[in-house]
């Protein structure tokens, strides 16, 4: 029995880049007559492999469009890889963009329930955490407000505190910590560190090298869907910085 919580083997993913997107039946029909290819394949990820151990934090660095978010979406099963395999051991909570699958027409509390149930947690168990989630997010006054009236910062706070309070084994974070104010950012990092100490695993995508250096044990440097380097954070960060300088 290995202590890997995530094992990714040779995953590749390509998207169709539509030049004129066919979104109506008529266009689809006329496309049968006119057989010229109207999309090209965009290789977003090529043969990516890595492992993540229990209690380890992995950073992912790369320019915009290098496939970071796609990789996280594959890890959280939202996208299916074209080839390769992903093995996940334990409960995983993805915190991608702002939200955790929130519905704008539902209140903060209803959203906490809906998201945690979708993530596979037990309703009874969640009800013991609801107060703590609201308190951590500093949203006591807005617990019964529909979240369509929330600001970006409020949404992010709600999402982050739900994600950590349901206590998953693996947490995927995509640029989320950047939204809150300074005090909340501090609180987030303290929580993330504490999370790690308790033997949980983290995958962190960030453009902030400071964040990656302070949290992650190892890092991956992605460029145009290829894994340029994987290793201890320091080495990967310096390679990334050199690369960015050379691109100027």
Partner 1 sequence: MKLIRKIMNHIVDEMWKLRRILFNFAITDLKIKYRNSILGILWSIIEPLLLLGVLFFVFSTMFKIEIPNFPIYLLTGIITWNFFKNGTSLALNSLSNRSPILTQIYFPRSFPAISSTITASILLITELVVLGIFMVILGFIPPNTIILLIPIFLLGFLLILGISLPLSVLNVKYKDAEFIWTVVLSAGFFLTPIFYRFDMLPEHVQSILQFSPMVQLVTMTQHVVLYGTLPSTNSILYAIGTTSVILIIGYLIFRKLQLRIVEEM
Point out which residues bind partner 1 (CB under 8 A).
15-16, 23-26, 28, 73, 76-80, 94, 96-97, 99-106, 110, 113-115, 117-119, 123
Shortest CB 197 distance to partner 1, Å: 27
CA distance 248 to 246: 6
Both tokens of 220, joined, read: 């991956």
Are 167 and 128 contacting, i.e. CB atoms less than 8 angstroms apart?
A: no
Q: Which is nearer to partner 1, 28 or 178 (CB)?
A: 28
Q: How far is the CB of 16 from partner 1 (least distance, A)?
A: 8
Contact assessment for residue 137 and residue 111, using Cβ atoms and an 8 Å cutoff: no
* Nearest approach, Cβ of residue 201 and partner 1 (Å): 18
End-to-end C-alpha distance for the chain, whole angstroms: 46
Q: In this complex, which beta carbon is closest to partner 1, that of residue 202 or of residue 237? A: 202
Q: Are 107 and 147 in contact (CB under 8 A)?
A: yes
Of residues 113 and 243, the one with the C-beta less far from partner 1: 113
**Bridge-partner residues for 43, per DSSP?**
14
User: Which tokens sit at 173?
Assistant: 């974070």
Cα 223 to Cα 225: distance, rounded to the nearest angstrom: 5
Nearer to partner 1, 122 or 194 (CB): 122
Instruction: Classify each residue of 164-175 as buried b or exposed e, where b means 16 or more C-beta atoms within 10 Å of its C-beta.
Output: bbbebbbbbbbb
Q: How far is the CB of 242 from partner 1 (least distance, A)?
A: 34
The distance of closest approach from Cβ of residue 26 to partner 1 in the complex, given in angstroms and rounded to an integer, is 7
Closer of 26 and 210 to partner 1 (Cβ) = 26
Q: What's the Cα-to-Cα distance from 22 to each of 17, 68, 156, 162, rounded to whole Å?
A: 12, 27, 35, 38
Distance CA 61, CA 211 (A): 11
**Nearest approach, Cβ of 71 to partner 1 (angstroms)?**
15
Residue (63 or 103) nearer to partner 1, CB: 103
């Amino acid at each position: 029995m290995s202590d890997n919580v995530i094992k990714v083997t040779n995953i590749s993913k390509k998207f169709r880049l539509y030049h004129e997107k066919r979104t109506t039946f008529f266009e689809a029909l006329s496309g049968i007559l006119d057989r010229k290819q109207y999309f090209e394949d965009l290789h977003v990820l090529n043969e990516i492999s890595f492992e993540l151990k229990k209690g380890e934090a992995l950073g992912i660095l790369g320019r915009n469009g290098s496939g970071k978010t796609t990789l996280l979406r594959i890890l959280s099963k939202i996208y299916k890889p074209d080839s390769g395999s992903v093995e996940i051991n334990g409960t995983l909570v993805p915190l991608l963009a702002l939200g955790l699958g929130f519905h704008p027409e539902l209140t903060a509390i209803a959203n906490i329930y809906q998201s945690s149930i979708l993530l596979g947690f037990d309703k009874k168990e969640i009800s013991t955490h609801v107060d703590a989630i609201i308190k951590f997010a500093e949203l006591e006054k807005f617990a019964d407000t529909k979240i369509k009236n929330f600001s970006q910062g409020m949404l992010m706070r709600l999402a982050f505190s739900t994600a950590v309070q349901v206590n998953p084994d693996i947490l995927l974070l995509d640029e989320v910590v950047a939204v809150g104010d300074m005090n909340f950012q501090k609180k987030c990092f303290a929580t993330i560190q504490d999370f790690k100490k308790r033997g949980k695993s983290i995958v962190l995508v960030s453009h902030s090298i400071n964040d990656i250096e302070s949290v992650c044990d190892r890092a991956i440097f992605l460029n145009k869907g290829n894994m340029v380097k994987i290793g201890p954070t320091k080495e990967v960060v310096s390679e990334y910085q050199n690369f960015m300088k050379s691109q100027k």
